[in-house]
């Protein structure tokens, strides 16, 4: 399943989509993609962000968003504490 350590390749392949899955906190409303990682050849065509409805251990509901690699290029770029990232507000 999903671990706590970054994977250097895609997490899921669906047909021709190579999807990098990113988890959000239940109270998170911001999608972030590391600038350097996105701009080097990472063999990823899409990013999926998953936000659980609550932090409860037995939570079984989540929202998800799927964006193409090209979509992310249109996002705002911000300097975070340690690195730059593409940022998008989620609703």
Of residues 27 and 6, which shows the higher confidence score? 27
Domain presence at residue 5: no
Domain presence at residue 74: yes
> Does residue 2 have a pLDDT over 60?
no
Domain presence at residue 49: yes
Domain presence at residue 40: yes
- Which range marks the domain in which residue 78 is found? 12-89
Domain presence at residue 1: no
Neighbours of 8 (CB within 10 A): 7
Report how many helices (DSSP H) and strands (DSSP E) the chain contains, helices first.
2, 7
Domain presence at residue 67: yes
> Does residue 3 have a pLDDT over 90?
no
Q: How many domains does the chain have?
A: 1
For the record, the structure tokens of 34 come out as 């590391």
Q: In this predicted model, what pLDDT tens digit does every residue of 15-65 receive, in sequence order?
A: 999 999 999 999 999 999 999 999 986 789 999 999 999 988 888 999 999
Of residues 56 and 69, which shows the higher confidence score? 69
């Amino acid at each position: 399943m999903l671990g706590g350590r970054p994977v250097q390749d895609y997490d899921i392949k669906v047909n021709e989509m190579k999807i990098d899955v990113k988890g959000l906190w239940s109270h998170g409303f911001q999608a972030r993609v590391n600038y350097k990682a996105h701009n080097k050849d990472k063999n990823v065509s899409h990013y999926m962000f998953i936000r659980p409805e609550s932090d409860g251990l037995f939570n079984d509901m989540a929202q998800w968003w799927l964006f193409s690699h090209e979509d992310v290029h249109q996002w705002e770029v911000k300097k975070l504490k340690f690195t730059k990232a593409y940022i998008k507000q989620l609703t």
